[in-house]
């Protein structure tokens, strides 16, 4: 999975399951300030992504998740891809 693939997954979950407008889901968007998400929205987003990749994220790891880019990082970690290489690619 590459970054754009991961972003598409995140965008799909947010639009389909949480009803967020797809056009607002940009990599730099802040989950709380730009997208109006609360902590339960984040848990529902991550739960759905966990289900897709079949792995769990330690909940304390969510504390450092602030933007869509951070969520994409999380998806790539879950998919066990080497994050720096993916960013470089």
Cβ proximity to other proteins, 17 vs 80, nearer residue? 17
Distance (Å, rounded) from C-alpha 85 to C-alpha 89?
A: 6
Q: Is 2 a catalytic residue?
A: no
Asked if 24 touches other proteins (CB under 8 A), the answer is no
Q: Which residues contact 32 (CB under 8 A, 6 or more apart)?
A: 38, 66
Cβ proximity to other proteins, 55 vs 87, nearer residue? 55
The owner of tokens 């470089």 is 88
Cβ proximity to other proteins, 18 vs 81, nearer residue? 18
Bridge partners of 30, per DSSP, are 67
Give contact residues for other proteins (rule: CB under 8 A).
17-20, 40-41, 43-44, 47, 50-51, 56
């Amino acid at each position: 999975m590459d970054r754009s693939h991961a972003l598409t997954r995140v965008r799909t979950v947010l639009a389909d399951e949480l009803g967020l407008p797809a056009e607002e889901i940009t990599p730099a968007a802040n989950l709380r300030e730009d997208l109006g998400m609360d902590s339960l929205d984040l848990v529902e987003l991550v739960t759905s992504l966990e289900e897709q990749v079949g792995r769990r994220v330690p909940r304390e790891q969510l504390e450092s998740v602030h933007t869509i880019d951070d969520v994409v990082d999380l998806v790539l970690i879950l998919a066990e891809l080497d994050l720096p290489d993916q960013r470089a690619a």
